[in-house]
Structure formats: C-alpha cells, structure tokens
Amino acid sequence: MEAKLIALGVETFKMAIFLALPGLLTGMFLGLAVSIFQATTQINEMTLSFIPKILGVVIVIVLTMPWMLNSMIDFSTHIFSLIPEFIE
C-alpha cells in the first residue's frame, strides 16, 4: 500500500513538472534574451524584463492549453480509477 502511494506521489510530481515546463522554459529563455539585450544596450529599465516574459508565458500557455487539458484529464481519470485500490 505504501509503495502505491509513493508511486502515485512521484507520478503527481512528474505531471506537475511536465505541465509547468513549457511556461518556465519560455520565461527562462525570454529572461536570458532580455538580459543579453539589456547588457549590450546598457538599458536598465526594470519593466523591460517583465513585460516580454509575461507576454511570452501567456502565449505559450494559451498555445499549449489543449495539450495541458488533455494531460490533466487523462491523469485525473487515472487517479479516479485508482480509488478502489486504495479503499480496503
């Protein structure tokens, strides 16, 4: 029983990372690009770093929303199918 719960926890963490990865990677790469731009032009405007990251992450989330939703539905269906195994 404990092994099943641990496996379920690991699977849950993997799904959370899997779903968060596109937005996080987009924010990281856009932040790096803006930092390089700021370093080369010596423009140190604080809002310049936030707006491209916010827009990029929102666009990526909107574009990957169907995939994320399908992944979450499949995972939830899998979790609900496991409920009888944990009720003993």
Evaluate whether 60 touches 27 at the Cβ level (below 8 Å). no
Instruction: Write out pLDDT tens, residues 1-57.
Output: 889 889 999 999 999 999 999 999 999 999 999 999 988 988 888 788 889 999 999
CA–CA separation, 20 vs 60, rounded Å? 11
What's the total number of domains in the chain? 1
| pLDDT value of position 64 | 97
Phi, psi of 55, deg, nearest 5: -65, -45
Evaluate whether 23 touches 60 at the Cβ level (below 8 Å). yes
| pLDDT value of position 55 | 95
Phi, psi of 73, deg, nearest 5: -65, -45
Q: What is the pTM of this model?
A: 0.82
| pLDDT value of position 16 | 96
Domain region containing 20: 2-86
Is the pLDDT score of 58 beyond 90? yes
